[in-house]
A and B are shown apart, each in its own frame.
Chain A
């Protein structure tokens, strides 16, 4: 982490994930085996640190639906009242556009909780693994297309 940087409002979840290696390696291998051949635009493990899971609560101050990855910015207020703006990396916006999501879907000022992993360089960036509203609803619900009703058969 760069000198002087602070992380008072980060709920570091390290330690809550005790089993990094173990029985789940087998499960992971099974999952990888059946994954489509091509992966994301870049390896997330190169950008984000599995040892730095974070959970942040804040308000949306900027949404960038840009390629190859979208970025959602939230302002987080620490216990001492200091504010920080964190950036979270999401996927390509194209899929969202096809599902009817636009830059108007996520209003500025909305309160969200983001779980993800902090960037390896210690900056205020993280992967946006899961983004939920305080009542537990997911920001972008997955699996919205009922099985068998997709355009692909």
Chain B
């Protein structure tokens, strides 16, 4: 299916409005690309994919009027981003130095901007920025702030405790490392393993009923279906512990996976959460074919940092 037809089909069938595919995109990907098929006749989306990109989620303020970059601008912008995020650069600000942790070799934040050359991953709202939080959403964000000095592990974030990494999703977002995921298909299920903290999702495609409302899960409950050549995954039933930039437990997440080239799986998602956001928002990441294999990220097994942070807090209390 061509991207144009794909756009028309999705726009006509989705309850959540999907912004039109970027103009720039049709120049980037071959509209006549024919998606390979699995043994079951479904579009073949399988393999290892990478979301390591320099493009930020939100459009930088200095690019407020620019949704996409030319090829030359994209090269310059990528160079600026690489310089700005270069952890080898030292200043005499020791606080910044500590925050940078270790030199750049340990990081894998990507080396280029997204292939569509968009200036933000967010494609809707059209300004490329997150929509405003509702009053209830602002209150919720404020109530979730962690104490400056942790009394115990519960006062540390989910990531520091190796419980949940927002980057692993859903929705999956670029991070500074472990930006890889593997997608496996069967006739009636899709499996997605994210290298970041090994989040694994098993997504039924058989049209089964949703979970009872009282059952709430860390990653939510996902149901998938095919919409033409696009895999659509709807996720609900989150618990109240996780948040995507202010979202809450009743967020409805719609993800779309479309193979647009042999080496590109276009990943799009829409966060619909009227309790917390004043409008839905949609982001788009052209995931790029990655070299396998996936590596283990058994976060909890070696999480000495957690104990060290608490030991540091206790030492500070003793005045050491």
* A91 surroundings in chain B (CB, below 8 A): 101-102, 106-107, 177
When each residue 41-55 of chain A gets 1 if its CB lies under 8 Å from chain B and 0 otherwise, what string results? 111111111110100
Question: Does A152 lie within 8 Å of B308, measured CB to CB?
Answer: no
Question: Does B291 lie within 8 Å of A151, measured CB to CB?
Answer: yes
* A50 surroundings in chain B (CB, below 8 A): 94-95, 97-98
- The 8 Å CB contact of A24, one of B92, B106, B173, B313, is B92
How many residues on the B side are at the interface (Cβ–Cβ under 8 A)? 82
Tell me the smallest distance from the CB of A7 to a CB of chain B, in Å.
Answer: 13
Question: Which of A24, A47, A49, A147 has the largest count of B CB atoms less than 10 A from its CB?
Answer: A47
Least CB separation from A16: chain B residue:
B92
Chain A residues touching B, range:
35 or more
CA A128 to CA B315, docked complex, whole Å: 21
Tell me the smallest distance from the CB of B77 to a CB of chain A, in Å.
Answer: 10
Tell me the smallest distance from the CB of B262 to a CB of chain A, in Å.
Answer: 13
* A152 surroundings in chain B (CB, below 8 A): 50, 52-53, 110-112, 288
Interface residues of A in 93-124 (CB under 8 A from B): 93-99, 116-117, 119-123
CA A68 to CA B178, docked complex, whole Å: 11
B26 is an interface residue with CB less than 8 A from chain A: no
Least CB separation from B290: chain A residue:
A151
CA A46 to CA B108, docked complex, whole Å: 23
- The 8 Å CB contact of A129, one of B100, B156, B289, B315, is B100
Question: Does A42 lie within 8 Å of B93, measured CB to CB?
Answer: no
Question: Does B299 lie within 8 Å of A36, measured CB to CB?
Answer: no
Interface residues of A in 9-32 (CB under 8 A from B): 17-22, 24-25, 27-28, 30-31
CA A46 to CA B105, docked complex, whole Å: 22
Residues A92 and B56 in contact in the complex (CB < 8 Å), given A1-B320, A119-B312: no
* Overall SS of chain B's interface: loop
Name the segment of B78-86, B201-209, B225-233 touching the other chain.
Answer: B78-86
* A116 surroundings in chain B (CB, below 8 A): 102
When each residue 106-119 of chain B gets 1 if its CB lies under 8 Å from chain A and 0 otherwise, what string results? 11111110010000
When each residue 112-153 of chain A gets 1 if its CB lies under 8 Å from chain B and 0 otherwise, what string results? 000011011111010111110000001011111101111111
Question: Does A121 lie within 8 Å of B311, measured CB to CB?
Answer: yes
- The 8 Å CB contact of B295, one of A35, A93, A148, A151, is A93
Least CB separation from A116: chain B residue:
B102
Least CB separation from A20: chain B residue:
B94
A40 is an interface residue with CB less than 8 A from chain B: yes
CA A152 to CA B104, docked complex, whole Å: 17
Tell me the smallest distance from the CB of A48 to a CB of chain B, in Å.
Answer: 5
* B174 surroundings in chain A (CB, below 8 A): 36-38
A84 is an interface residue with CB less than 8 A from chain B: no
* A151 surroundings in chain B (CB, below 8 A): 50, 52, 288-291
- The 8 Å CB contact of A97, one of B109, B295, B299, is B295
Interface residues of B in 206-222 (CB under 8 A from A): none
Residues of B within 8 A of A (CB): 50, 52-54, 56-57, 60, 75, 78-82, 84-88, 90-112, 115, 150, 156-157, 159-160, 162, 165-167, 173-178, 195, 288-291, 295-299, 301-306, 308-309, 311-316, 320
Residues of A within 8 A of B (CB): 1-2, 17-22, 24-25, 27-28, 30-31, 33-51, 53, 64, 66-69, 71, 89-99, 116-117, 119-123, 125, 127-131, 138, 140-145, 147-153
Query: What are 14 A-B contacts with C-beta separation under 8 Å?
Result: A1-B320, A19-B92, A24-B92, A37-B167, A37-B173, A38-B174, A45-B98, A46-B150, A46-B312, A47-B309, A90-B106, A117-B98, A147-B78, A152-B110
